[in-house]
């Protein structure tokens, strides 16, 4: 007599729609394209996910790290997940279920062999060893915190297309501890085309841990008013327009903080190489200001900044940046549309400053941060590879060390 076949169990990977901030990091990270989304949710396809975990460390909220034991034949489909407002409750498995759950396709030896190896993620999944411990997810979609606008002004030339604002939010007596490199979510008021409340939009902090104004419970954001999509077609950015139009004393619903890896080192004389474009300057401003407040102590190391913008007048914070002491920060501006000047990107300047970049990279106290346009990521990695190759050094070995030691971080969009 044949024994009945055991019911196969799947450890199904799910994303918590109540915590997810729809930042797209998981979809970009997944090496096998198992993650997809619609206007409601980010979801994992159970037929593709191999449980490789590549998406878990980069997720700023932890919403990605949800698993349910299900009978494989009854796994939640992509369609099911797209309709969810919350995760389903855990259910018990039938008695005849196979005790050893298989994470998606990796359970099938043949299928696993056919899977592409997980792609190497460019940045580190861990913070630098000396980073301070961050608080994350103190406030969620269900329990946001109210902040008051105490400042909102433009930080780019009034005659330019780039309408970028510096917005200061105050939390009063309510706890909202943050670190440089972290981000927060803003819940814009109103509903989307389907009548659902808007999802949160994520913004990096532009201020250091002790406040935009030192000693105050406030923080700042750098927000570009979105009037076009990436292809240049007219588009109205729901949250960016809401934020850029806020007046003093208006209130804003905030969630977060988020981020546990893109954090600055906290030990004396650590060096920072900061590479950014446009509003990607926010975390660099936060780290620079944190360091500036330590001038006069023997805490700070070397700071080297590569900052890309169309023109000087479209470079956020140009005036205050240029006032910083030259022996405190080595500033390299890459301007792409300045009249009478050749087009330059940050990666061009990294090549031009190869000697200094190599010197800093040779020091284990150096951390690199890259924030801004997605397209910059490949360009910056290529430039760093070339800089090392020129000196006969193997970038792939250093790249691996930088990732392992939490010394190379990307935040691109």
**Residues of this chain that bind ligand A2P (CB under 6 A):** 162, 277-278, 308-310, 336-337, 345-346, 373, 375-376, 379
Q: How far is the CB of 305 from ligand A2P (least distance, A)?
A: 14
Q: At residue 273, what are phi and psi to the nearest 5 degrees? A: -105, 120
Name the CA radius of gyration of the chain, rounded: 23
Q: Do 321 and 357 form a contact (C-beta atoms < 8 A)? A: no
Q: Which residue lies nearer to ligand A2P by CB, 141 or 351?
A: 351
Which residue in 57, 49, 47 sits closest to 13, CA to CA? 49
Which residue in 110, 112, 102, 106 sits closest to 9, CA to CA? 102
Q: Which residue lies nearer to ligand A2P by CB, 195 or 342?
A: 342
Tokens coding 395: 């970038």
Q: Which residue lies nearer to ligand A2P by CB, 71 or 354?
A: 354
- C-alpha distances in angstroms, 326 versus 180, 186, 323, 392? 22, 35, 9, 30
CA 215 from chain centre, in angstroms, equals 26
Q: How far is the CB of 81 from ligand A2P (least distance, A)?
A: 33
Q: Which residue lies nearer to ligand A2P by CB, 130 or 336?
A: 336
Q: How far is the CB of 242 from ligand A2P (least distance, A)?
A: 20
Sheet of strand 408-412, all strands in order from the earlier edge strand to the far edge: 329-335, 300-309, 270-277, 366-372, 408-412
What distance in Å separates the CA atoms of residue 263 and residue 128, rounded to the nearest whole number?
A: 7
Q: How far is the CB of 225 from ligand A2P (least distance, A)?
A: 12
Q: How far is the CB of 61 from ligand A2P (least distance, A)?
A: 25
Query: Which residue number has the CB closest to ligand A2P?
Result: 375
Residue 200, classed as helix, strand or coil, is coil
Q: How far is the CB of 118 from ligand A2P (least distance, A)?
A: 25
- C-alpha distances in angstroms, 96 versus 68, 123, 366, 388? 17, 43, 55, 58
Tokens coding 372: 């801004």
Q: Which residue lies nearer to ligand A2P by CB, 280 or 301?
A: 280
Residue 207's contacts (CB-CB under 8 Å, 6 or more residues apart) are 168, 218, 219, 220, 285, 286, 289
Cis peptide bond N-terminal to 257, omega within 30: yes
Q: How far is the CB of 312 from ligand A2P (least distance, A)?
A: 11
What distance in Å separates the CA atoms of residue 168 and residue 170, rounded to the nearest whole number?
A: 7
Q: How far is the CB of 201 from ligand A2P (least distance, A)?
A: 17
Q: How far is the CB of 337 from ligand A2P (least distance, A)?
A: 5
Q: How far is the CB of 335 from ligand A2P (least distance, A)?
A: 7
What distance in Å separates the CA atoms of residue 155 and residue 141, rounded to the nearest whole number?
A: 30
Q: Which residue lies nearer to ligand A2P by CB, 133 or 230?
A: 230
Q: Which residue lies nearer to ligand A2P by CB, 215 or 232?
A: 232
Q: How far is the CB of 308 from ligand A2P (least distance, A)?
A: 4
Q: Which residue lies nearer to ligand A2P by CB, 370 or 388?
A: 370
Q: Which residue lies nearer to ligand A2P by CB, 101 or 372?
A: 372
DSSP 316-367: TTHHHHHTS-TTTEEEEEEESS-TTS----HHHHHHHTHHHHHHHHTSTTEE
Q: Which residue lies nearer to ligand A2P by CB, 109 or 339?
A: 339
Q: Which residue lies nearer to ligand A2P by CB, 105 or 162?
A: 162
């Amino acid at each position: 007599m044949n024994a009945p076949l055991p019911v196969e169990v799947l450890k199904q990977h799910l994303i918590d729609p109540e915590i997810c901030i729809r930042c797209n990091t998981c979809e970009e990270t997944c090496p096998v394209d198992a993650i997809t989304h619609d206007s409601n949710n980010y979801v994992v396809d159970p037929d593709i996910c191999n449980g490789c975990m590549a998406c878990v460390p980069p997720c700023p909220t932890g919403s990605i790290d949800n698993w349910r034991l299900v009978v494989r034949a009854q796994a939640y489909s992509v369609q099911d997940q797209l309709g969810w407002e919350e995760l389903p409750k855990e259910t018990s498995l039938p008695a005849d279920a196979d005790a050893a759950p298989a994470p998606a396709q990796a359970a099938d030896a043949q299928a696993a062999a056919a899977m592409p190896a997980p792609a190497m993620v460019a940045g580190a999944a861990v913070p630098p060893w000396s980073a301070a411990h961050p608080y994350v997810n103190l406030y969620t979609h269900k329990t946001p915190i109210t902040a008051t606008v105490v400042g909102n002004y433009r930080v780019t030339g009034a005659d330019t297309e780039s309408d970028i604002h510096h917005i200061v939010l105050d939390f009063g007596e309510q706890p909202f501890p943050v670190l440089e490199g972290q981000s927060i979510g803003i819940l814009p008021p109103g509903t989307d085309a389907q009548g659902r409340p808007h999802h949160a939009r994520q913004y990096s902090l532009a201020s250091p841990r002790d406040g935009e104004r030192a000693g105050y419970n406030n923080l700042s954001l750098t927000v570009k008013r979105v009037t076009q999509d990436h292809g240049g077609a007219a588009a109205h950015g729901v949250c960016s327009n809401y934020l850029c139009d806020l007046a003093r004393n208006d209130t804003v619903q905030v969630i977060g903080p988020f981020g546990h890896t893109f954090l600055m080192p906290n030990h004396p004389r650590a060096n920072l190489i900061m590479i950014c474009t446009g509003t990607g300057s926010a975390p660099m401003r936060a780290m620079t200001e944190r360091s500036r407040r330590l001038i006069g102590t023997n805490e700070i190391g070397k700071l080297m900044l590569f900052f890309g913008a169309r023109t000087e007048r479209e470079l956020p914070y140009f005036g205050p940046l240029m006032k910083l002491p030259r022996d405190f920060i080595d500033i390299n501006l890459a301007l792409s549309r300045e009249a009478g000047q050749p087009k330059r990107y940050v990666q061009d300047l990294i090549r031009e400053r190869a000697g200094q970049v190599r010197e800093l990279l040779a020091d284990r106290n150096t951390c690199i941060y890259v924030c801004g346009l997605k397209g910059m990521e490949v360009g910056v990695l290529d430039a760093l590879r070339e800089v090392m190759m020129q000196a006969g050094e193997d970038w792939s070995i250093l790249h691996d060390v930088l990732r392992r030691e939490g010394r190379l971080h990307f935040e691109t969009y």
